Amino acid sequence: MPASAAELMAQVAKLTLQAADLLAEGRVAEAEEVDRRAAALRRRAMRTAREEGAAGAATAAYAPAQSDRDMVVEGLTELDAISSPRLISDFVLARYGRHVNARLFSSLRRDERDAWQRWTQGRGGSRLTFVVPALEGTFFTTSRGLVALSMWPLARRIVGPRTGRVELLRAARSVLSALAWMRERDTAAAVPMERLASSLARTVPGAMEGWRVGAIEDVTRAVEWELRELEQADRDWREVAAARALTQLTEEEQVLGSAGPHVVRRASGGIA
């Protein structure tokens, strides 16, 4: 009997913890492999969840509606990349036909911060993951307009000089993968996803011929090619930063970001 979505997600959580342990021991290559397996499993879990949802459509009227927050988590899980609210909103609309206002994110981030603090203080909460700000990689302050999931390893939540482009390419790859799946099942529903894919892939050299996304394999190949060129240097930078963050930041700061450097003044008013 195939595993349920919840079981698969539990396995993902175990793998993520395993990856974190490996990173702490400095076994980066192994951690990376485990993280890849976790990502694949996560995608499978979400696919299974959707199929289970479709099978149980008769009882859908009694199931609680998914909140905007859940949609954001699902969107980020599928995109598998640090993203801007606008990109998540566009993806959720194309993927689930659900409109999530990008302006929701500032209040969502506040709610998530409060929920995380409640959870760590043992005051309740059952969330598996939190929507958290990506961390700027020099002083680990919150990165403006970029969000991630707390279950991702710290290095994946840090933004380095080339991370913007790398994460965009990762998101493009996920969108293309969703597009391939949607094209097979429902051509009409795939149109918004195709529009999103073309807006992301248009700036990748050799990805597009004209205005439309042609063969998905060709576009994905072009995206992968640019990603390969950038990913290693970006990963190295972020891992060095993550190692520094682990030694310098509290657990809360590792998730929600630090206050950043500030001028310290002596009582007399002079700068210390």
Partner 1 sequence: MAQFEEQLDAAMAALRGQMRSSGRSVRAVAKWSNNQRCATNNAMFVARVDDDRLLQRTSLAPEFGQSPFALARGARVEQIGRANQYAVTVSLLREHFGYGIPEVVALDLRHGFQPNNIGMAQRARATERALQAAIRDERDAPNIIDGAVLRAQIGGFLAHLEADGVGAKTGPVFHVNEYKGWPVVDGRAHDAAKLGATVAQMGIYRYLLADTIDRLGGDPDTVAGTGLLITPRNVGLTLVGNPIRLAGATRLAEHTLANLPHPRDFIGSLPEGLDFGAVARGDHEGSRLDALERITNRLGTRYQESCMGNCGLAKFCRARARASGSTSLVGESVARFMPGVVSLPRAAALADGATPAEGEVVTGAASVLAAAGRLYREKLSGGSLPPIAAVGGGRAS
Toward partner 1, which CB reaches closer, 19 or 213?
213
Question: Cα 156 to chain center, whole Å?
Answer: 9
**Structure tokens of 114?**
């409060």
Q: Considering the rule CB under 8 A, would residue 134 count as an interface residue with partner 1?
A: no
Min separation Cβ 160 and partner 1, Å: 8
Q: Which of 47, 50, 162, 244 binds partner 1 (CB under 8 A)?
A: 162
The tokens for 161 are 């000089």
Separation between Cα atoms, residue 208 and residue 193, nearest integer Å: 15
Is residue 205 within the footprint of partner 1 (CB under 8 A)?
A: yes
Nearer to partner 1, 129 or 142 (CB): 142
- Taking the complex as a whole, the smallest distance from the CB of residue 50 to partner 1 amounts, in Å, to 27
Under rule CB under 8 A, residue 210 binds partner 1? no
List Cβ neighbours of 197 (8 Å cut-off, separation of 6 or more). 172, 175, 176, 179, 213, 219
Establish if 120 lies at the interface with partner 1 (CB under 8 A): no
In 3-state terms, what secondary structure has residue 202?
coil
Question: Does residue 265 belong to the site contacting partner 1 (CB under 8 A)?
Answer: no
Give the residue, chosen from 230, 240, 243, 246, that forms a contact with partner 1 under the rule CB under 8 A. Answer: 230
Q: Which of 56, 161, 206, 214 binds partner 1 (CB under 8 A)?
A: 161
Provide the sign of the torsion angle of the four alpha carbons 4, 32, 22, 17, taken in this order. negative
* Chain Cα centroid distance, residue 103: 18
Q: Which residue has the tokens 């680990």?
A: 140
Q: Give the integer Cα–Cα distance in Å for 183 and 35.
A: 28
17 interacts with partner 1 by CB under 8 A: no
Number of residues binding to partner 1, judged by CB under 8 A:
21
User: Interface with partner 1 includes 229 (CB under 8 A)?
Assistant: yes
From the list 83-91, 107-115, 148-156, 184-192, the region that binds partner 1 by CB under 8 A is 83-91
Q: C-beta of 100: minimal distance to partner 1 in Å?
A: 18
Q: Give 192: exposed, middle or buried? Use CB within 10 Å, 0-12, 13-18, 19+.
A: middle
Q: Does 209 interact with partner 1 (rule: CB under 8 A)?
A: no
Closest CA to 256 of 128, 142, 164: 142
Distance of CA 175 to the CA centre of its chain: 13
Give me the residues that bind partner 1 (CB under 8 A), please: 84, 86-87, 144, 160-162, 164-165, 167-168, 199-200, 202-203, 205, 226, 229-230, 233, 237
